[in-house]
Structure 1
Amino acid sequence: MSSLNRRVLLGAAGLALAGAPGASAVAKTAEAPPPSPAPKDVTRTLARYVVSARYEDLPEAVRKEATRTFLNWVGVAVGGSHHETLDVAVAALQPFSGPPQAGLFGRPERFDIMNAAFLNGVSSHIFDYDDTHLKTVIHPAGPVASAILAYAAMKPVSGAEFLNALVLGIEAECRIGNAVYPNHYDVGWHITGTAGVFGAAAAAGRLMGLTEQQMVYALGLAASQPVGLRESFGSMNKSFNPGRAASNGLFAAILAAKGYTSSDGMIEAKRGWANTVSTKQDYREITEGLGTRYETLLNTYKPFACGIVMHPTIDAAIQIRDQERISPDRIARVDLKVHPLVLELTGKTAPKSGLEGKFSIYHAAAVAFVEGAGGEKQFSDRAVADPAVVALRQKIVPVVTPGIAAAQVDMTVTLDDGRTVHRFIEHAIGSVETPMTDAQLERKFSDLAEGILPDARTREVMGMCRSLRDLPDAGAVLRAGALA
């Protein structure tokens, strides 16, 4: 998929000129065009949109996708609620929490809204099973929904207000992400955290009724709190990033509501956020088409609980396993033609934990052949240590291949009798082109909630998510999804 290409060839025209006869002289004598003036009012333009956009103006397709985003997010937050990562975080923060203002999905503890936003954000990202904006690999819901649901637990807001704020937060973070991607991501920033804080601030500020100037301040305070480095991938620190983005954004909006000031141009100024964290800045991505072009419509949902670049491989492996009825012990070799980003992000050859398995293309392919799935259970400590999986992952041979996009894989399986089976995946299940259905999202939710919520409660919470726009109190979703 072209929107997933992580490297862009720049300066082709300049290189052609440099190779032409007399190019050097032409370059020296020709008048270079004057540099584009620094953009003005990017932060303010975005702030004005966020405080003025109404739920009534949202296209029905956007409302629908936002509802699916919320349903998926609640499911993954419930699913991650009893992971060791959250146990550690709850134990660490509980002695320091303020008043018990908001609950946690799948757990009985209650925290102040700042810590609740952080913890639900962590929980929703633990399994790498959350939504993905493929243009930027941002996971949009984690920072935004975690912040505003914590706020809604303290101060009731209608489902329609909540849904509007969710869309506005997603638009803010993804547009800002678009403006600096891929350079910002390539240098090492975890863009879900660094851009997500803007989404959390915008959405929370909208529910608080900030003025335009206060929203400018909120976005500015968010800009001062970028969080998340890609070096953290494979550790508990990775899910810290969207959780902290949620609490940082909520923090920014709370301060701005009381008049805590910031620069008016914190996104676009010479020493502002975009120029500081990236060598690429395309401010048109932030300001053009507000209210007519929706990044929310490009959100996708993972059928597999791992990094998105491994999804084509898992999809291909499951197809071959199920359609060809191939037993894993008959596989002699699996050749994968992949994009460079696959090995860059998921090149761990011998993962030792479930978390590390989420960043191993070798494990992902092997477990898909052995278990015919790629859900949370397939990226557990148990699955990573399974002897059959360990043996098969040593037969996985990924090779970076020109012409293969990050959303694609070319897989050839060689069997012990010399026969080969081939699959080329252009658009894996869960992509924009091959989206998960509502029924598949609900099955995913039910699987994640199994053993955490009673079945009747799971159905109740899913029903509330589906009818979010009609709820008089959006915070009721969190109360229903927490344990007494």
Structure 2
Amino acid sequence: MQTATPRQADQDVTLTLARYLVQARYEDLPPAVIHEASRGLLNWMGCALGAARHETVQAVLDAQTPFFGPPQAQIAGRAQRADILHAALINGISSHVLDFDDTHYRAVHPSAPVLPAILALAEWKRCSGRELVLAYVLGVEAEIRIALSVFPEHYDRGWHITGTAGVFGAAAAAGKLLGLDETRMAWALGIAATQSAGLREMFGSMCKSLHPGKAAQNGLSAALMAQHGYTSSTRALEARRGFGQVMSSRFDPAVITTGLGDSYELLRNMYKPYACGLVQHAVIDGVLQLRREYDLAPEDIEAVHATVGPLVVELTSKPEPRTGLEGKFSVFHALAAALVFGAAGETQFGTAAVLDPRVVALRRRVTTELDPDMRKLEGRVRITLKDGRQLDRHVPEALGTLARPMSDADLEEKFNGLIGDLLPAGRTARLAQACWDVARLPDAGEVARLSAGAC
């Protein structure tokens, strides 16, 4: 593969990335990356199916169904099919709304913008599983590198980086499936750049999941438009008025191009055991460990105190959430629900759990303390019991992080739990196997078709 010198790469970031995406081959992928793609697909599919009946998904279906085009692609967990652009939108929303999807160790939920775009396209075009896996890996690589080139200042400004960077991942992955040449791939990235969007103000509302949904739809559209000759600047990433410099005052173009093909960001992906923001997971881990070890009941507990890092305070400080979506951004709810129910899955972050009187009562006895030196995925909890005892637990790394990863068996258990009885008998196991075997499938659309629901 021909690579640019560091100086050329800094000057021609968009074209350098486009060249890499076009030239990359499935045969270049290490076995560990191929396996991680199966893990990511399984986890993504479970999250999408688990939310298939969520009110957020129903609302967007009610609004968009009258405008569906031909039935080209499956909507996960539904009997309905849609044109590929609407399928990408809806599956992108459903796979993120539970906040149970994957998270890169530094930034971005990588799969929610990329997989909805390429699963829809692969089903329509009848692409092979190998083609899908390569496109997925490359889409994640593009979106993460672009995200990290503006991170953290871009995120600190208030941009939801899953939306703003995810559109590039969807465009790159779809462009790979479409076989775009270097110029058209650069156009696709440019068309994506001018549609980059997502505001952190939307956290705790339905609109948070709209960000990867629109990223998937807009990225797919960008690749299709480029395929048909729709042009853009070929310096959309690096130009003075391009994505990087407009979206951040600390844009580092070298992050996008240095070492392309030498390592893969998908290997730095993490999977959630709990259905909320990853920054809360360490303290959830801590209270669940203490609950199990001391056989605690809610009525035993006088107070809960959590020592947390800056992001927990910034992102999850809603003291009185009113809905399940708000509950995902309340560390007070997360700890109370975990102690009341002994779990922190999607049920514990539903609206019924948020309004449960036992949870509300305990939530009001949860306090937090900021430790500015605490790492993002670290936490400390103290539970004070009514008999005066104090139970302490320090969690250096939450379950699901790179230091304590979820195993393949853990991911399949999560997948099965999210799907429940949504699919006909026997189909859940077939779908899981298709995800594990995706690289060997002659038609990657089989994965999408197996996700069809009964209604």
TM range (shorter): over 0.9
Q: Give the partner amino acid of 2:94.
A: S
> Quick one: which of 45, 58, 64 aligns to 1:74?
45
Structure 2 contact 159–199 (Cα < 8 Å) conserved: yes
Distance 1:473 1:300 in 2: 27
The DSSP-based 3-state class of the residue aligned with 2:369 is strand
- Does residue 244 of structure 1 match 2:217? no
Return the offset for 1:376: 0.5
- Does residue 444 of structure 1 match 2:414? yes
The DSSP-based 3-state class of the residue aligned with 1:445 is helix
1:415-451, Cα deviation, whole Å (9 max, x unpaired): 1111111110111100011000111101111111013
Distance 1:386 1:451 in 2: 25
> Quick one: which of 427, 435, 452 aligns to 2:397?
427
TM-score by length of 1: 0.91
Return the offset for 1:134: 2.0
Kindly report which structure 2 residues correspond to 1:331-480, keeping only aligned pairs within 5 A, or say none: 331-480=301-450
The DSSP-based 3-state class of the residue aligned with 1:125 is coil
Number of the residue aligned with 1:19: none
Number of the residue aligned with 2:77: 106
- Does residue 258 of structure 1 match 2:228? yes
Q: Give the partner amino acid of 1:116.
A: A
Distance 1:403 1:332 in 2: 28
Distance 1:157 1:395 in 2: 54
Relative to 1, partners in 2 of residues 1:450 and 1:336: Cα closer, same or farther, differing over 3 Å? Answer: same
Number of the residue aligned with 1:26: none
The DSSP-based 3-state class of the residue aligned with 1:252 is helix
Distance 1:64 1:412 in 2: 39
> Quick one: which of 112, 124, 128 aligns to 2:95?
124
- How many correspondences in the alignment? 448
Distance 1:37 1:278 in 2: 22
Relative to 1, partners in 2 of residues 1:409 and 1:98: Cα closer, same or farther, differing over 3 Å? Answer: same
The DSSP-based 3-state class of the residue aligned with 1:405 is coil
Distance 2:27 2:110 in 1: 22
TM-score by length of 2: 0.97
Q: Which runs of 5+ in 2 are unaligned?
A: 1-6
Seq. identity, %: 52
Number of the residue aligned with 2:151: 181
Number of the residue aligned with 2:204: 234
Taking only aligned residues, the RMSD between alpha carbons, in angstroms, comes to 1.2
Distance 1:323 1:335 in 2: 18
The DSSP-based 3-state class of the residue aligned with 1:179 is helix
1:181-200, Cα deviation, whole Å (9 max, x unpaired): 00000110010000000000
Distance 1:456 1:202 in 2: 35
Kindly report which structure 2 residues correspond to 1:292-331, keeping only aligned pairs within 5 A, or say none: 292-331=262-301
> Quick one: which of 89, 94, 104 aligns to 2:65?
94
1:248-278, Cα deviation, whole Å (9 max, x unpaired): 0000000100111111100000110010111
Return the offset for 1:38: 10
- Does residue 279 of structure 1 match 2:249? yes
Q: Give the partner amino acid of 1:183.
A: E
The DSSP-based 3-state class of the residue aligned with 1:39 is helix
Distance 1:399 1:38 in 2: 45
Q: Give the partner amino acid of 1:476.
A: E
Is the deviation greater in 199-208 or in 55-64?
Answer: 55-64
Return the offset for 1:39: 3.1
Q: Give the partner amino acid of 1:84.
A: E
1:291-338, Cα deviation, whole Å (9 max, x unpaired): 112111000100000011111111111100001212221111111111
Number of the residue aligned with 1:10: none
Distance 1:410 1:313 in 2: 6
